[in-house]
Amino acid sequence: MNANTGATLSQASAQQMAWKTENVAPLWTVLKGLVPAEPRPQAIAYAWRWRKMRELLLHAGETISAAEAERRVLMLNNPGLDGKPHITDTLYAGLQLILPGEIARAHRHTQAALRFVLEGSGAYTAVNGVRADMHRGDYIVTPPWTWHHHGHDGSEPVMWLDGLDLPIVNFLRAGFREEYESEEFPHSCQANKLWDKYSGTLLPINTEPTSLCSPVFSYPYERSREALERLKKHDECDPHLGVNVRYAHPLTGGWTMPTIAASMRLIPAGWGTRLYRSVEGTVLTVLEGCPTVEIEGQGSFELEPNDVLAVPGWTSWRVQGGVGRDAVFFAFSDRPVFEKLGLYREARA
Ligand code: 1HN
């Protein structure tokens, strides 16, 4: 007999069986877990080291062709997520290799993708036939449901970081995919033509945005780097973020894609940010210098160029620039999703 309710043990187990049979369950045993006091990401902070990743990618280049693989990618699976192909709780990332002469055939899907070029040149991505030549540090946008393929006219392996909103789109059961009828979508123009047309503060008159995604598909590294240097000169260094520029949709001022935010940061040599956290998970990769990222409760990561670091949501982190040289890194997250749903939150120490 239960002293509080007067129910006998057999009554309790009969009740549990009835719940199970009728597909119901008591909320009161799980309420606090369902509605936690604050987010508890399952992903952990983790760094994928370029030295090793490069070796594994080049080896994959010897064992499978881009034609066979469709995309020759090593996915970056967060060790906290039980083998799920997610780099944070809500984002996907992978490292892709294309070799001279190869084509990664044209397809399209409703998941949005970004490319961030890490090594080599001579390769390109074509988005609806707009061709973006790839150079280290370029940020390339592949909007949802646009035909895209990759090719390589050069002479050295080209490798880049892919970022996709795949976990979110799949969670929403909104994923669609289609193969194009041939390997390549017909060429329309070079991406730098769109850059010339839409970048900057002087825009062609009467140009309304026609897409939630930026009409500029490729943001060349030298432009992002110049912007960082200009802001640094004007002391635009945020105590929590350092010198930070975001890639913007030139016609709306918003992010370049509806689900993914991308930005580039410079942390001056010998300087460090204060602790910062926000609800979205973040993925970063180093372009220049050797920053150290301290993640509260999860240790310190001394990063080298092209290392990729996953920072889970609602986890405090700070970045220390290296010795004698400014550190520059690229970062992406799914912040726009949180913003649109009224869920964005950050905390600054
Ligand atoms: C994809 O289409 C690419 O186009 C890369 O290069 C990675 C991961 C999952 C689903 C589609 C690409 C991808 C992907």
Tokens matching residue 8: 């006998």
* Nearest atom, ligand 1, residue 148 CA: 4
pLDDT tops 90 at residue 273: yes
* Nearest atom, ligand 1, residue 149 CA: 4
pLDDT band (50, 70, 90) for residue 235 = confident
Any idea what the CATH number is for the domain that residue 69 is in? 2.60.120.10
pLDDT tops 90 at residue 118: yes
Q: What is the pTM of this model?
A: 0.95
Asked if residue 257 is part of any domain, the answer here is yes
**Cβ 71 under 6 angstroms from ligand 1:** yes
Asked if residue 341 is part of any domain, the answer here is yes
pLDDT number for residue 6 = 63
**pLDDT per residue as tens digits for the range 12-44:** 999 999 999 999 999 999 999 899 999 999 999
Would you call 57 exposed, middle or buried from its count of C-beta atoms within 10 A (0-12, 13-18, 19+)?
Answer: buried
**CA of 244 relative to ligand 1 center, distance in Å:** 28
Structurally, the chain folds into a number of domains equal to 1
**pLDDT per residue as tens digits for the range 144-202:** 999 999 999 999 999 999 999 999 999 999 999 999 999 999 999 999 999 999 998 89
**Cβ 225 under 6 angstroms from ligand 1:** no
Closest Cα to residue 312, out of 297, 327, 292?
Answer: 297
* Residue owning the nearest CA to atom 1 of ligand 1: 71
Expressed as residue numbers, the domain containing 236 is 46-205+212-348
**CA of 87 relative to ligand 1 center, distance in Å:** 14
pLDDT band (50, 70, 90) for residue 9 = confident
Asked if residue 18 is part of any domain, the answer here is no
pLDDT tops 70 at residue 4: no
Q: What percent of the chain has pLDDT over 90?
A: 95
* Long-range own/partner contacts, residues 228-237 (CB < 8 A, 24 or more apart): 228/264, 228/265, 228/266, 228/328, 229/266, 231/266, 232/266, 232/268, 232/326, 237/268, 237/271
**Cβ 162 under 6 angstroms from ligand 1:** yes
pLDDT number for residue 8 = 85
**CA of 169 relative to ligand 1 center, distance in Å:** 13
**CA of 224 relative to ligand 1 center, distance in Å:** 25
Q: Are residues 162 and 94 in contact, defined by beta-carbon separation less than 8 angstroms?
A: yes
Q: What is the mean pLDDT of residues 232-251?
A: 96
**CA of 91 relative to ligand 1 center, distance in Å:** 13
**Cβ 85 under 6 angstroms from ligand 1:** no
Q: How far apart are CA 14 and CA 2, in angstroms?
A: 14
Asked if residue 100 is part of any domain, the answer here is yes
Closest Cα to residue 261, out of 41, 91, 46?
Answer: 91
Asked if residue 301 is part of any domain, the answer here is yes
**CA of 267 relative to ligand 1 center, distance in Å:** 31
pLDDT number for residue 2 = 57
**Cβ 148 under 6 angstroms from ligand 1:** yes
Asked if residue 175 is part of any domain, the answer here is yes
Asked if residue 300 is part of any domain, the answer here is yes
Q: What is the mean pLDDT of residues 319-344?
A: 97
**pLDDT per residue as tens digits for the range 67-101:** 999 999 999 999 999 999 999 999 999 999 999 99
Asked if residue 331 is part of any domain, the answer here is yes
**CA of 159 relative to ligand 1 center, distance in Å:** 14
Name the residue of 102, 142, 162 whose CB sits within 8 Å of the most ligand 1 atoms, as the mutation to test its pocket: 162
Mean pLDDT of the chain: 96
Q: Residue 277's CB: how many other CB atoms inside 10 A?
A: 23
Q: Residue 294's CB: how many other CB atoms inside 10 A?
A: 17
**CA of 142 relative to ligand 1 center, distance in Å:** 10
